[in-house]
Each structure stands twice: as C-alpha cells, then as structure tokens.
Structure 1
Amino acid sequence: MPTEFPALLGAGLILLFIFYLGFLSIKIKFPNVVMYILLGIFLSDLVADSELLHFASEIGIVLLFFLLGLEFNINRLGGIARRIWPTGLLDIGLSLGVTTGIALLFQLDLFSSFLIGGLCYATSSSITAKLLDDRGRMANTETEFMLALLIFEDLAAPIIVAVLFGIHSGEDLTVVTFLLLAGKIAGLALLAILLGKTLFKRFEAFLDRIDDEDFKIALLIGIALGYGGFALYLGLSEVLGAFLAGMMLAEIGKVEKVEQTVYPVRDLLLPAFFVYFGTTIELGNGIPMAGLLLTLVVWSVLSKVLVGVLGGPMYGISKRASLRAGLSLCARGEFSVVIAGAAAGMLKVFSGIYIVAAAFTGMLLFEQASKITNKLYGKPVKKKKNLKVPR
C-alpha cells in the first residue's frame, strides 16, 4: 500500500539539490541565485504547496535583511548619503519611476506598474559583489562608487517593498492611506532607532556573557523574526522589520559577534527562498506580455548605464570608469525576487521570467564592460614613471 511522501525526505533532497547547485555555481562561475530559481521551477509540481519550504524561505529572507541592516548604523548612513544621494535619486527616477511609466503605457494598473518598477529597480548586490571579487575588480576606480550605489539601493528597496505590501490588500492608494502607511514606516524606524540607542546600547557586553551558542542563536534570530513579525502585524513587510532590527543591533559596534552566529543559519535557509519563488512560477502558458518584457529588459540595461554615466562624475570618478560601472550594474536578483512576492498570477510568471533574463543579461554585460569601454574610449595608457639612472 503506497504511503505519503515524507516531508522530511523532501527537505533532505532539496538541501542536497541546493548543495549540488551551489557547488556547481562555483565551478562554472555562475550566480547560484538563478540556479536556485530554476530548481524551484523544475520542482514546482512536487513541492509547490510545501509549508515547510515556505516557512524556511520566510526565515531565510528575514535573516538576509537582518544581516544587511547590521551594516548600517546611523553614522554610516549619514556618511554614505552625503556622497551618493544625487546618484541614488537619479537611479530611483530612471530605474523605478520611468519603468513604472512604461508599464502604465502598456495599460497596466497603478499597483502592477509600481510593482514592475520596483522589480526593475535594484541591482543584485549578491551577483555584483561576487562578480567584482571573482574578476579581480575590487581595486578598480569605479568599485567604491558601485558599492555605495548598491548600499543606497539596499536602503531604498525595503521601503519600496513595504509600500508594495502595504497596498497589496487591493485598496486604492489614496492620500490618506499613503500617509498612514508612511506613518507606520516612520514609527517602526523611529522605534528601532530609539531601541538601538537605549536598550541595545550595552547589548555587546550582554552577548559576551553568553557562553552557550545555542542560546545566542535563539536570542538573535528571535530578535530578527520578532521585529519582522511586528512589521507584518502593522501591515508592513517583514523584510523592512528585519532590516530595522539589524540597524538596532548595528549600534553595538562589533557586529561580527552577531554575524558569526547568524550567518550559518541564513546560509542554510536563504536558498530555500529562491527555490520557493521558483515553485510559484508556472511557464506552461508561454511568455506573458512579451512586448513589455523585451522593453523592460532593454530599458533595465539603459537605465543603469545612464545612472553610471551621469552619476559617476557626480561622485567624482572619470567618464571611462563611470561607463564601466554602469555596464556592471545591470544584473537583477534577490531584491527583485522579494518584490515579486507581491505579484500574483500572470504577473508573477512575468516577474520570474524577467528576473532570469535580467540576471543573464547583467552578467554578460559585466563580463564585457571593460571591452566595451575600451572600444569607446580606447585602451587606457599606462603612465610611465620618470626613472633616473644614478650616475
């Protein structure tokens, strides 16, 4: 007599698949995010309704944003904002604003258009950082500018997610509802700052007194999930709450003590988020809104190139380095996946196809960025040192 397929066996097999794809991505130097999404699409008929996979994915994405928030204490946020804000606002206008307008021209409703704008906004931090490291470009002139812009997007993306999930109920976005939503976001942020400056000011000394790592894991992940859950209770996004929870703990100074405890759990569960997203994509009915998809992939590239070309000089780098930066910022990834979580039906299928296409296109342009720049500006001339032969 056949028995029901055990969820535990399914979880074990998925983890083994994740291990293999992660190992393979290192060998072929291909971002594992895309491979995990493709795995989810492949397994969609088998695990689409898995509550275990869904719950693991929720924890994984919450911990991703929690650790991201740890990188931003209040002083660092101010320092970054002073130099990158003109380029960051340009990025929002081109990548989010114009894209939303394009979707409206294709006769989508305002919520769907804004969702697509958010989908096309943020560059994938994980893909871009990995490629910079793998290709030995961390010391390049444009790298500081690129990382600063990624940080700006990391800050803006949770707010965009919060707005999207706040209006996801289907209600019309009126001035009153928008102000109420903005008030909730501001209140949640102010509470996080207040707790960071008071309750968590001596948190580092408290952590040092905890010798048992099991208790420490429970405490830190409990804080991340608790504040993320509180954001959900307020009708906001859990990723915004998790990000703010990380900001609270960023005030302790040595965040490495928190990171080394949380990283292993995040690395275990985060792939589940991308696999789960893949299971929600159904490709049986072909490519929806193919004209819009092609338009957005092209504009996604142009918008980031313009952000680099126009924003780089404002940051203080050369035109050559600015173009190379713009061509290297085109990949979309984890933030697009998070934003696509608010989509449904055909729009979710569209989002999944766009993310995979944009990731491929972005990686290809990253590889060719230096060659394209050299063709336009010529090969850089190495400065000769004026060496004098001693007599």
Structure 2
Amino acid sequence: MNDLVFEIGLAIALIAIAGLLSTKLRFSVIPFYILVGMAVGPHSIQWGHFDLRFIESAPFIDFLGRIGILFLLFCLGLEFSIGRLIKSGRSIAVGGTIYILINFSLSLIFGWAAGLPLLEVLIVGGVMTISSSAIAAKVLVDLKRTANPETEMILGIIMFDDVFLAVYISILSGLILNGSSSLGGVLMTALIALGFMLLVLVIGRKCVPLLNRMLNIRSNELFLLVIFALLFTIAGFSETIHVAEAIGALLVGLVLAETAHLKRIEQLIFPFRDFFGAIFFFSFGLTIDPLSLGGAVWLSIGAVVLTLIGNLVSGMWAGRNAGLSPKASVNIGITIVARGEFSIIMANLAKAGGLLQIIQPFTALYVLILAILGPLLTKETKHIYRLMAPLFKRSRWGQGEPKKKEVTSES
C-alpha cells in the first residue's frame, strides 16, 4: 500500500473490529490490539498479490502511538493529586525500592542461569524489571480502579521505575555503546531526573492559582490548545534530559489535577486518550516479527514465570509495608506485571550494540505474553486473592482492620 491516508483508515478500522470482538468475548481489549497489529505488521506474511502489511504508514502509526502513551499517562495523573502523592511519599519510596530490588535481582540471576554473557545479562535485567506504564494506566482505567487505595502505590512504583530506568540506561549506554560509563555521569543523570520530577511537582503546586486563571477560557478550542501546549512541551522537554516523556505527561496530569478545571479537562481529553491509546497498542504489535519468536519460546516462558513470582512477592511486601490489605497488595503486584515500551527500548539498545540476536525475539515474545497475560490476570485478581487467602490466614495478615480505609470499585 502506498496511500498513507488509506492505510491509516484501514488501521483504525482493524482497531475498531478488534475492540468490538474483545467486547463480545468480554476480554481485555489490549491483547486484541497487539495481535491485530502483529497480523498486519511489516513482518507479517504477504498473501500473494493481496498485501495487507502496514509498511509505508508504520513510522507514522508509531508516532501516533507515542502520543497515545502521553495521553494514557496524562489522564492517569488527572486521577490523582500532588497532595495525595506527598502523603504517601515514604511508603512509595520503600515500595518502589522493594519492587526494583526483587525483580532486578531475579532477572539478573535468570540471565546468568541461562548462560548469557555479562552485557546480555544486564540487558535482560532491564527488560524484565521495568513495567509498562501505558498498559498499567489502560488497565486501571478500564477496570475503574483509579479510586482504589493501592493505585497510589502503583503510580508511585511507576515513577520510581522511571528514575531507575534513567540511571540504568545511562550505565548500559556507556558500557555497550561507548565501552565505559563514568560514575559522575551516572550520578548526574539520576540527580537531573529526580530533580526535574520534584521541580515540576513543587512549582506546579505553587502555580495552581495562576493555572486556574490561565485556564479560565470559554472557548473549548483555545482551552484544548493550552492543555496540549503544556502536555507536549513538558513531556518533550523531559525526554531531552533522559526522563521518559510518558513520565513528563504523568507529572502534567498530577499538576492539573489540583486545578478547578479538572472535570472540564477530563471531559475533553478522555476521547483523545481512548483513540490514541488504542493506536499505541496496535503500533506495538506492528513491531513484533512473529517468525522470529520460535527460538526464544522456553527462555521467554521461564522469564514470564519468574516475573509473575517476583511481581506478586514484591507487590505483597510493598502493600503490607504501606498498611494495605492483602487483597490490595495482590492487586499491586498483578496490575504492574505487564512489560512493554521500556523493555523494547532495552532490546533496541542491545541491537545497536551488536549483542546476541536472541535478545530481540526473547524480548518480543516475553513482552507479548505479559502484555496479554497482565490485563487478563489483573481482571481476575479477586479470584487470585481467594486462592491465596489460606496463606494470609496462616500469617495473620489482614485479619484486623487495614491501616488505610479501602474504597474499591472492582477489586
């Protein structure tokens, strides 16, 4: 196909069909978007003269997908406020540390046990540690769990992940691409990432009165232009200082959640979130080559099992430390089990550095399995908790009142 507009139109039609099918079957829509993207991606099979592969439009669809990540994280930020995060600051820092330590340690042991060289082990560590903020945000919205008490911890771990990612990519880029990485450069990257996030939150909260006046605009057109300007400018700038643009979008959402215009922002922005979010998952499917996955099946399955265990243990530990109930703690570990955009970044770094080719199909299959399994398991956390209930009874955890009052919509 050479007509860009026609390809985009077909892509949207396929996404709509996938969404209708998932609704009919009562499954999470995310796996359907990914699988339909794989079916028509540049790596899929050409059926004679009938070529449905999305080749010409793939770069443009990928860009639309990046916009989808921004809207997903921005809208997730709107569900909270800076004040709520500050109150939970200590528990979030402890929970994020627990999550990183457990999952990163297990992933390094897994890479070493698989017989991979040192650099490949470090790449696998990054692939298996960082959860997908886009998938987590989509799942929380779809299941109407944004008001749940454990969602603050989930959001905090996502932000904590990004600080870790900024430092880790800096280290690996130096080791793989440049052959070295100075301690000073690593520390500077970490300080810049952390400082930027704190600066946006502090200044944003101070500027709420100014934002209230600035957003007092009658025209919806001009109102959206101002919101989009804030969103894309800050998200884009964050990327230039090695903080993921998605986290920049999350920070903007957290700031604007403090304003008096929150309801109007949500009403106007949510349709953009739903549209571009669907394109993101479709674009992710376009990047996966189905024919390259066979050689990494067992390695990927082993990694998936280890990730499920690591996430469940770290989620329960982080939740218990924060005073949450066992049910809420199970929700934490399962909700952020999906891997996605950040794992693909790590695999691309391995490819750029000329590391073992097995890293690419391993990452693709690992991410695909968890991108499908994560939303499905999150929907069934109630049943997972029931299966684990005897363990909680023996440990006497959750028999009393939790430290935090739970307000759940669908636990």
Deviations 1:72-116 (A, max 9, x none): 443211222344544443222212343244234432516513421
1:150 is the counterpart of 2:147: no
Secondary structure at 1:201 match in 2: helix
CA gap of 1:60–1:16, structure 2 versus 1, over 3 A, is same
Alignment of 1:22-33 (within 5 A): 22-33=19-30
Correspondence for 1:270 among 277, 291, 304: 277
1:366 is the counterpart of 2:381: yes
Q: Which residue of 2 aligns with 1:384?
A: none
CA gap of 1:126–1:235, structure 2 versus 1, over 3 A, is closer
Answer whether contact 2:34 2:281 (CA < 8 A) is retained.
Answer: yes
* Whole-angstrom CA distance in 2 between matches of 1:240 and 1:130: 17
Q: Structure 1-normalised TM-score?
A: 0.79
1:260 is the counterpart of 2:289: no
1:125 is the counterpart of 2:136: yes
Answer whether contact 1:159 1:240 (CA < 8 A) is retained.
Answer: no
Correspondence for 2:72 among 64, 86, 89: 64
Answer whether contact 2:131 2:158 (CA < 8 A) is retained.
Answer: no
State the shift of 1:165 in Å.
Answer: 5.3
Answer whether contact 2:215 2:223 (CA < 8 A) is retained.
Answer: yes
Answer whether contact 2:163 2:190 (CA < 8 A) is retained.
Answer: no
* Whole-angstrom CA distance in 2 between matches of 1:122 and 1:184: 21
Percent identity reads 22
* Whole-angstrom CA distance in 1 between matches of 2:218 and 2:33: 36
Answer whether contact 1:88 1:152 (CA < 8 A) is retained.
Answer: yes
Q: Report the more deviating stretch, 280-289 or 307-316.
A: 307-316
Deviations 1:295-323 (A, max 9, x none): 2111112113323544444344566x478
CA gap of 1:183–1:297, structure 2 versus 1, over 3 A, is same
State the shift of 1:42 in Å.
Answer: 0.9
CA gap of 1:157–1:264, structure 2 versus 1, over 3 A, is farther
Correspondence for 2:304 among 285, 297, 302: 297
* Whole-angstrom CA distance in 2 between matches of 1:91 and 1:366: 19
Alignment of 1:100-119 (within 5 A): 100-106=108-114, 107-108=116-117, 109=119, 111-119=122-130
Alignment of 1:184-203 (within 5 A): 184-203=192-211
Correspondence for 2:190 among 182, 187, 190: 182
User: Unpaired runs of 5+ in structure 2?
Assistant: 43-52, 352-356, 394-411
1:332 is the counterpart of 2:338: yes
CA gap of 1:269–1:17, structure 2 versus 1, over 3 A, is same
Alignment of 1:185-264 (within 5 A): 185-208=193-216, 210-264=217-271
Correspondence for 2:294 among 280, 284, 287: 287
1:35 is the counterpart of 2:39: no
The AA in structure 1 aligned to 2:140 is A
Q: Report the more deviating stretch, 366-375 or 89-98.
A: 366-375
Secondary structure at 1:30 match in 2: coil
Answer whether contact 2:81 2:254 (CA < 8 A) is retained.
Answer: yes
Answer whether contact 1:90 1:311 (CA < 8 A) is retained.
Answer: yes
CA gap of 1:230–1:124, structure 2 versus 1, over 3 A, is closer
CA gap of 1:351–1:182, structure 2 versus 1, over 3 A, is same
State the shift of 1:327 in Å.
Answer: 7.5
Matched positions, count:
364
Answer whether contact 1:57 1:272 (CA < 8 A) is retained.
Answer: yes
1:6 is the counterpart of 2:13: no
Deviations 1:236-282 (A, max 9, x none): 43223222333343342552332222222222112222211211111
CA gap of 1:322–1:211, structure 2 versus 1, over 3 A, is closer
CA gap of 1:80–1:71, structure 2 versus 1, over 3 A, is farther
Answer whether contact 1:162 1:240 (CA < 8 A) is retained.
Answer: no
* Whole-angstrom CA distance in 2 between matches of 1:303 and 1:56: 33
Answer whether contact 2:311 2:337 (CA < 8 A) is retained.
Answer: no
Q: Which residue of 2 aligns with 1:307?
A: 314
Q: Which residue of 1 aligns with 2:361?
A: 349
* Whole-angstrom CA distance in 2 between matches of 1:27 and 1:165: 41
Secondary structure at 2:127 match in 1: helix
State the shift of 1:128 in Å.
Answer: 5.0
1:21 is the counterpart of 2:15: no
Answer whether contact 1:127 1:331 (CA < 8 A) is retained.
Answer: no
* Whole-angstrom CA distance in 2 between matches of 1:116 and 1:296: 10
Secondary structure at 2:32 match in 1: helix
CA gap of 1:367–1:235, structure 2 versus 1, over 3 A, is closer
Secondary structure at 2:347 match in 1: coil
CA gap of 1:339–1:163, structure 2 versus 1, over 3 A, is farther
Answer whether contact 1:64 1:270 (CA < 8 A) is retained.
Answer: yes
Larger Rg computed on CA atoms: 1
Q: Which residue of 2 aligns with 1:388?
A: none
State the shift of 1:350 in Å.
Answer: 2.3
Q: Which residue of 1 aligns with 2:403?
A: none
